[in-house]
Structure 1
């Protein structure tokens, strides 16, 4: 059970961060492969350093806005019923917990960069980011909202992509000089954002498979087993197409970055690395 906006908003955040992560990793590598190191976040160059922490601000502000929507707007401030948590909004509470973890990661990363009291290496930030992805994984795997049928299948594929985000982020802490690990992390985040979009347009938008329908209670219902199977096969094809498209895009962007920036001098590479 969900909504179109409830999937598009987090999908947009993941997509923006993932695409920026891939581009930054490719650019830093082609500028100077020997000095390459994994970064869990990437500074924005130019503008006299005014937008250096833009990625972290997007994570913190975007996560906080989405957190407020889930915790305050969607629940209508009805947190408790008869002295216990409102069972009608358990999914909103769970989503809030996931968003809180990403918000905490962004705040810690900002403090690490801008405060002299909290200085953490990139490997430690990778592990903190992995903890946020783990919270997201557990949320969708042990969701209080029972996802059944076609809706459940889309969320199973989402859980697999989140698992890839966890593995690639942890690998970044273990292999801090691995270019492939850093790019894989960006690809995984990008795919997660795209899959949020695909779920929104398929289950709550105009791409609903034939034989399936979105009911008034926001539950997806397929009228026959064959219709449900066709929907699952369509989901497989959609994910496969996304993987091929993203990999093709990464290869194209790498070629562009190598041809345009591959001969930059060492001083420029150090500036981008910092």
Structure 2
């Protein structure tokens, strides 16, 4: 992560996940409110989407761990250098640890939605723990850095810990659309802010460098953080509005006979799932 690409790549991942969650939760909420509108309201379809999503996250987590270890200047699975008597590439190990917990969360989610032997809330609990671990490691990742460097990462912690708290509340209030949309906005904020950190700390050659000790830069970057969150909220609101409108439009255009058949099909799927 010690360069522009190292912040842009995970930032892009969180942006994609935030957009996907916004679409998924909006579609699920709108479909459940209008059960006749489409077959996506069935629980079996929702669980399939959860398994696919968790599988993709697990794959990215494994690739991330391997990349952190086996890049040309990586630790190559060596934690301690006995010749020089010091810890070896701890930054890479910290990043790999973050990926590890996201991978554990994804594996648990796959187990929850395929085997049915694990309590359903475990997927949310492990995801909340993964985000907490990410924030916990970032919090102790800033010692000895310049003022602006510390500040932009401290602002990132608000998005991370806010997301962890929101997902933890989903353990007890699963299906609450307000918590789910709040989670989406914080995930988008984390993604866009990682991009912003890349531009601040490692600006491309065509961009001017930031003065890390200028207090005005601290004030501006704090205000910029608020702008990022406002765009995240706006993005989630637009997605939710568009999907709700599309589902209602489909409901109006669906003939009554077809709506009845869809409803019957949904009930059959729910019964199969219960069995």
The total of aligned residue pairs comes to: 249
In structure 2, C-alpha distance between the alignment counterparts of 1:177 and 1:107, rounded to whole Å: 21
Structure 2 counterparts to residues 10-21 of structure 1, below 5 A: 10-21=10-21
Q: Label 1:113 to 1:174 Cα distance change in 2 as closer, same or farther (>3 A).
A: closer
Partner of 2:178: 180
Q: Normalization by structure 2: what TM-score?
A: 0.78
Structure 1 stretch 22-31 or stretch 85-94: which is displaced more?
85-94
Partner of 2:200: 202
Q: 2:105 matched to 1:119?
A: no
In structure 1, C-alpha distance between the alignment counterparts of 2:136 and 2:62, rounded to whole Å: 20
Offset at residue 44 of structure 1 (A) = 12
Q: 2:118 matched to 1:132?
A: no
In structure 1, C-alpha distance between the alignment counterparts of 2:44 and 2:20, rounded to whole Å: 9
Give secondary structure in 2 for the equivalent of 1:14: helix
Q: Label 1:106 to 1:207 Cα distance change in 2 as closer, same or farther (>3 A).
A: farther
Structure having the higher Rg: 2
Structure 2 counterparts to residues 1-274 of structure 1, below 5 A: 2-33=2-33, 53-73=51-71, 74-77=73-76, 78-82=78-82, 86-115=86-115, 118-121=117-120, 123-143=121-141, 146-206=144-204, 212=210, 222=212, 225=213, 228-262=214-248, 264=251, 267=263
Larger helix fraction of residues: 2
Q: Label 1:66 to 1:186 Cα distance change in 2 as closer, same or farther (>3 A).
A: same
Structure 1 stretch 262-271 or stretch 106-115: which is displaced more?
262-271
Offset at residue 209 of structure 1 (A) = 8.3
State whether residues 159 and 186 of structure 2, in contact with CA within 8 Å, keep that contact through their aligned partners in structure 1: yes
Offset at residue 184 of structure 1 (A) = 0.7
State whether residues 44 and 53 of structure 1, in contact with CA within 8 Å, keep that contact through their aligned partners in structure 2: no
Q: CA RMSD in A?
A: 3.2
Offset at residue 205 of structure 1 (A) = 2.2
In structure 2, C-alpha distance between the alignment counterparts of 1:246 and 1:13, rounded to whole Å: 15
In structure 2, C-alpha distance between the alignment counterparts of 1:255 and 1:140, rounded to whole Å: 35
Q: Cα deviation per residue 1:183-238 (whole Å; 9 max; x = unaligned)?
A: 111111111111111111221123998663xxxxxxxx63xx4xx21222221232
Q: Label 1:90 to 1:84 Cα distance change in 2 as closer, same or farther (>3 A).
A: farther
Unaligned runs of 5+ in 2: 36-42, 252-258
In structure 2, C-alpha distance between the alignment counterparts of 1:106 and 1:173, rounded to whole Å: 16
In structure 2, C-alpha distance between the alignment counterparts of 1:269 and 1:206, rounded to whole Å: 52
Offset at residue 25 of structure 1 (A) = 1.2
